[in-house]
Amino acid sequence: MLFNPVPVGKRTRYSYAKIKEVMEMPHLLDIQRNSYQWFLDEGLQDIFNDISPIQDFSGNLVLSFESFSLGEPKYELDECKERDVTLAAPIRVNVRLINRETGEIKEQEVFMGDFPLMTDTGTFIINGAERVIVSQLVRSPGAYYGEEIDPTGKHLYNATVIPNRGAWIELETDTNDVVSVRIDRTRKMPVTYFIRALGFATDEEIIDLFGEDPRIMNTLERDGEDVKSQGKAVIEIYRRLRPGEPANEDNAQQLLDSLFFDPKRYDLATVGRYKLTKKLGWKRRILGKVLAEPIVDKETGEIVIPQGEVVTEDMLDAIDIERERQLFGEGEIVQLYLLKKDGSRMKLLCSPTLDIHDRTITKNDIIASINYLLNLMDGVGSTDDIDHLGNRRVRAVGELLQNQFRIGLSRMERVVRERMTIQDVDVITPQALINIRPVVAAIKEFFGSSQLSQFMDQHNPLSELTHKRRLSALGPGGLSRERAGFEVRDVHNSHYGRMCPVESPEGPNIGLIGSLATYARVNQFGFMETPYRRVDKETHRVTDEVRYLTADEEDELVIAQANEPLDENEWFVNPRVTARYNEETGLHARETVDYMDVSPRQVFSIATAMIPFLENDDANRALMGANMQRQAVPLLRTQAPLVGTGMEYKAACDSGVMVLAKRAGVVENVTADYIDVRTKNGELDHYKLQKFIRSNQGTCINQVPIVYKGDEVVEKQPIADGPATDHGELALGYNIVVAYMPWEGYNYEDAVLLSENLVKRDLYTSIHIEEYECDARDTKLGPEEITRDIPNVAEDALKDLDEEGIIRIGADVRPGDILVGKVTPKGETELTAEERLLRAIFGEKAREVRDTSLRVPHGEQGKIVDVKIFTRENNDELPPGVNRLVRVYIAQKRKISVGDKMAGRHGNKGVVS
C-alpha cells in the first residue's frame, strides 16, 4: 500500500489517500465571521440609508442619518466574562436635521447604544456568557410556481410571489380555467380585478396585453359588469383587504400603491430581484425555445435573434443591459412570441432586466408573473421545488442582526415624527428628537431571547465548531416543528456539497437542523455554494481551476465524482465516468463532463468527516457517530486517535481553543501561564494561556504549552494545546483495546464492561468546574457582613478561611464545608435575664446575627481553583442592594463510573455497567 507522510502540527501522519487535494479547505468559521463583517461594512449603513430621511407631517423638518462609527469596547473579552457584562462597542451616528423653511442645517453626533461585538471565534459575550447566533434556512423571496391534480384529473396551477417583507401575491387556476388572485392572504378574486387596478382598465386593453388567451377570456366573463374600470377594480380590492371600512377611490389607490410600490412597506431585497429576473426575465424564458417573430433592432433593422431557430446561450450572452434597453425600451415590458410544436404562436410577457438594487416589485413583474402562469398551462415554463437549495437561502448573523436593527429603527422613527410635531422648531436638535430606547431594546431582545441566539455548546472544540456552522429551518420567519412535513426534512439532491446529509439531530428536529458541509460557503445572496474543478472542454483535461457553483447552476451541468481515476496528465482514465446530471447519478461519456468534485469529503460536515471509513457505515449509525462526538467530555490526559481522517488538525486549529502563533519567530520563554515569541523583526509576541476556566457546560478549559524554549515556530502553528486537543490535533477520546464478546451477561443490551485498570490509570478522568456565588446585601435590619466571625461554628471549620472569611485557593473542600462566612442581622427579640447579663458584660458583640454562610452543597467536593471578589469600592457593577459579591470555583476530578456513556465514532454506544 502506498502512503505518504504528512506533517500535522508537531506530528507526522501517514496518509493513505489516493486522491490529491486541489484546494485548501476554507476557514471553518467563515460563515459567522464574514457575515458579521458584512454587517459592519455594509449592512448597518444600508439600514440608515433606508430609514433616511424622516420627515414630519408638514414636510418642513427633515432628519437624516449620515455616517456612523464604532468606538472601542469598554472592557476586554476576558474582563467581560469575569464581570458578567456584554462585549459591546458604542455606536455613534452623524445625524443631520434640516429646517426647510429657514434653510437651517444642524449636525450632531448621536450615541445610538452599545452594539455587541463578535469575538475572533465567531461568538458573542452577552452578560458574561458566550452565545452563538445560529444561521437560519428560509425560503428565498421570488416567484414560485406549483402544480396539483384535482380529483377529476385536471392539472391546476398556482403561483406565489414572495417578497422579503410585504404582501404576498398568490395566483391560482380552478377547474373552469378561471384565474384568481389573493393579495396578502385575503379572499380570492378574479385576476382581472388586479390587472385593471394596475392600469389596464378596459377589456380591450387586457385582451391586447395578454392576447386572446382562453383563460383570460373565461376570467373576463366572470367579472361583474360594475367592475369594468380601474377605479371600480381598486375599490373592489380595497373591500377585500379592509372589509367593513368605507372605500373611496383615492384611499383605495393609496392602499394599493403603499402595499406594493412603497419601498418602506414592500422589499424584495437584492436576492428577490435576482430570483425574479431569473424566473420571469426574457432570457431564461426563451432559452432553448424557437421564436415565432425575430427580435429586431428598430433603429438599424438588424435581426438580433432570428425566428425559427433554437435560441442558444451564445445568442443571449451577446445582449447586455444597454443593448436590451435599446431593443425593448427602458422599463417597458418585453413582448415576444414563441413558436409551439403544433405550429401555433404563444405570447410571452417578460420582466425587463432591472438593476439588482431595484428592490420593489413593478407592474411589469406582476403582469409577467400572471403570463408565466398562463404559459405554464400551455406546457411552457417549469414548476419549482421549494425544498431545492436554489430556492432556500441562508440568513446568517449579519442579516438577522440587520433585520432586528431595522425593527428598532422603525419603532424609533415613529417617536421622532411625534417629537417633531410637539417640540419648538427653533430650539430643536437631532439629539432631542432621537430616543434610542427602542433600538437598544430590539438588539437586547434579539441576543437575549431570540430562538436563534443560543447558549454556546462548549462541551469540546468540535461541539463549538458545529454549533457555529449549524443551519436551522426553525425560528422566526421559518418553519415550526409541528407543521414541518416529511419533504422539508428529507435529504435533497441539491444538498450535495452544501449541507451534510448525515449530521442532523435524532428526534422531533430531524432534518430541520443541519450542518454546513466542509467546503461550502454562502454567497452574497445567501445561497450555498460548493467548489468544483473545471474540466477544459477543448482538451478534456481536469484543471486545478476551482469554481463555486450554486444549486441552480449545478443542475444543468455534468459533474464527475472526486474518486474518478485520472492519469498523470489529469485526463479521465475511463471512457465512461460516474457523474451527476440533473438530479440523477449515472455513467456519462468523459467528453461531456463539465466539472469534477474537489474532494470526497466535500459532501459531509466536519463531525461526519471525522469518522474514518465512513463509507462502510450505515447512514443511521453514522448519524449517531457524528452527533455523539459532540458529547465527548475533555479528558485529563488527551490522546490523538491512531486512525484519523486528516480532519482533526484543521478542526482543532479553526475551533479557537488552542493558541496559534500570530507571526513566525523563535520561542523565548515558556511557562505554564504564558509563552513569549521573538519575531523575525525583533518584536516580542506575548501569549497568555487560559488556566482552569469553567466552560458553559462546566467542563474545564486549560491551555498547556507544546513548544520549548528555542523552538522555531511558523505563523498559525499551534503553540499551546486546549481542551480535548493533543499536539494540535483534536483528541476527543482515548485509544484502548476493545473486545466484542459476551461477558457473563454484564454487557447485555449494549452495556459496557470496563477494566478497573482504566479507572486506576486515570485514562477516562475529566475535570469539572462549578461556580458558587455569595452576596452581601442590605436588609431591613441592617447590612449583611462577610466575616470569619460566625456564631456557633468550631474553629476547626474555619481553618481554610482567610481573615475576611473567604476560603483560600488550593483548599480541599467536602460537602458542608464553609466557602464564604456570612452573617445576617436577626430581628431583635425580647431578651431573657441571662442574655441581658451577657449583653451587659460583652457589650454589643452578642447582638443577634444568624449564620448564612455559603457552604459546599451535598454531593459536591473538590479543590478551590479561583476566588473572585467584587465590591462597590472597586467600581464593579453590582445589582442594586448588593455591597459585595464573592465567586468561588471548585474543580473536581471525576473518574469514569457506572452509568457513564461510552461510544466509538461509528454510532457504537453503550452505558458502563
pLDDT in tens, 444-495: 999 999 999 999 999 999 999 999 999 999 999 999 999 889 999 999 999 9
Q: Which residues contact 715 (CB under 8 A, 6 or more apart)?
A: 661, 662, 663, 664
b/e code 449-466 from CB counts within 10 Å (16+ = b): ebebbeebbbbbbbbbbb
The residue type at 227: V
Strands 155-162 and 142-149: antiparallel
Question: What band does 318 get if pLDDT is binned at 50, 70 and 90?
Answer: confident
- The pTM of this model reads 0.93
pLDDT in tens, 811-834: 999 999 999 999 998 876 667 788
Distance of CA 740 to CAs 447, 747, 753, 908, Å?
48, 10, 11, 11
| Nearest-angstrom CA–CA distance, 835 and 832 | 5
Q: Three-state secondary structure along 630-682?
A: CCCCCCCCCCCCCCCCCCHHHHHHHHCCCEECCCCEEEEEECCCEEEEEECCC
Task: Give the percent of the chain with pLDDT over 70.
Answer: 99
Q: What is the mean pLDDT of residues 880-886?
A: 93
pLDDT in tens, 287-298: 888 888 888 888
What is the set of domains in the chain, with CATH numbers?
A: 30-135+394-454 (3.90.1100.10), 142-233+351-389 (3.90.1110.10), 633-730 (2.40.50.100), 766-894 (2.40.50.150)
Task: Give the percent of the chain with pLDDT over 90.
Answer: 72
Strands 782-783 and 766-779: antiparallel
Taking all residues of the chain, what is their mean pLDDT, rounded to a whole number? 92
What is the DSSP code (8-state) at residue 620?
A: H
Q: Which residues contact 842 (CB under 8 A, 6 or more apart)?
A: none
- Residue 488 backbone dihedrals phi, psi, to 5 degrees: -65, -35
| Nearest-angstrom CA–CA distance, 10 and 4 | 16
Instruction: Give residue 224's pLDDT.
Output: 74
Residue 766 burial by Cβ neighbours in a 10 Å radius (0-12, 13-18, 19+):
buried
| Nearest-angstrom CA–CA distance, 635 and 719 | 20
- Answer for the pair 615, 579: CB distance below 8 angstroms, yes or no: no
Q: Which helix (H) or strand (E) holds 46?
A: helix 44-51
pLDDT in tens, 726-769: 999 999 999 999 999 999 999 899 999 999 999 999 999 999 99
Cα atoms found within 13 Å of the Cα of residue 889, Cβ hemisphere only = 19
Q: What is the DSSP string of 270-283?
A: HHHHHHHHHHHBHH
Instruction: Give residue 727's pLDDT.
Output: 93
Count of beta carbons in the 10 Å neighbourhood of residue 621: 16
What is the DSSP code (8-state) at residue 590?
A: G
Instruction: Give residue 828's pLDDT.
Output: 67
For the ranges 313-317, 502-506, 508-512, 719-723, the lowest mean pLDDT is seen at: 313-317
Q: What is the mean pLDDT of residues 512-540?
A: 95
In 16-85 the beta strands, taken as DSSP E runs, fall at 54-55, 61-70
- Residue 678 backbone dihedrals phi, psi, to 5 degrees: -90, 120
Instruction: Give the residue carrying C-alpha cell 483528541.
Output: 731
Instruction: Give residue 834's pLDDT.
Output: 83
b/e code 216-252 from CB counts within 10 Å (16+ = b): bebbbeebeeebeebbbbbbbbbbbbeeeeebeeeeb
What are the grid coordinates assigned to 76, written together? 476586554
pLDDT in tens, 26-77: 999 999 999 999 999 999 999 999 998 898 888 888 999 999 999 999 999 9
For the ranges 12-26, 269-283, 415-429, the lowest mean pLDDT is seen at: 415-429
Q: In what order do the strands lie in the sheet with 61-70?
A: 54-55, 61-70, 88-99, 104-116
- Answer for the pair 61, 420: CB distance below 8 angstroms, yes or no: yes
Polymer length of the chain: 913
* 843 has pLDDT over 70: no
Instruction: Give residue 844's pLDDT.
Output: 60
Structure-derived torsion over alpha carbons of residues 28, 29, 34, 39, reported in degrees to the nearest 10: 160
CA angle, 147 then 151 then 157, to 5°: 20
What are the grid coordinates assigned to 723, written together? 481542551
Higher-confidence residue of 850 and 90: namely 90
Instruction: Give residue 472's pLDDT.
Output: 96
- Residue 415 backbone dihedrals phi, psi, to 5 degrees: -60, -45
Higher-confidence residue of 223 and 78: namely 78
Q: In what order do the strands lie in the sheet with 124-126?
A: 124-126, 129-133, 453-455
| Nearest-angstrom CA–CA distance, 36 and 521 | 14
Distance of CA 409 to CAs 52, 440, 489, 908, Å?
10, 10, 36, 52
Of 569, 417, 49, 544, which Cα lies nearest the Cα of 263?
49
Rg of the Cα atoms in the chain: 34
Q: In what order do the strands lie in the sheet with 704-705?
A: 659-660, 718-721, 704-705
- Answer for the pair 600, 640: CB distance below 8 angstroms, yes or no: no
| Nearest-angstrom CA–CA distance, 490 and 505 | 13
| Nearest-angstrom CA–CA distance, 215 and 814 | 83
Q: Which residues contact 574 (CB under 8 A, 6 or more apart)?
A: 564, 565, 590
What is the DSSP code (8-state) at residue 352?
A: P
Of 130, 128, 129, which Cα lies nearest the Cα of 83?
128
* 22 has pLDDT over 60: yes
Q: What is the mean pLDDT of residues 797-821?
A: 94
Cα atoms found within 13 Å of the Cα of residue 668, Cβ hemisphere only = 13
Q: Which residues contact 452 (CB under 8 A, 6 or more apart)?
A: 133, 134, 136, 400, 472, 475, 476
Q: What is the mean pLDDT of residues 164-183?
A: 93
Instruction: Give residue 845's pLDDT.
Output: 53
* 846 has pLDDT over 60: no
What are the grid coordinates assigned to 643, written together? 486512525
Question: What band does 13 get if pLDDT is binned at 50, 70 and 90?
Answer: very high
Cα atoms found within 13 Å of the Cα of residue 121, Cβ hemisphere only = 25
Whether residue 53 has a cis bond before it, omega within 30° of 0: yes
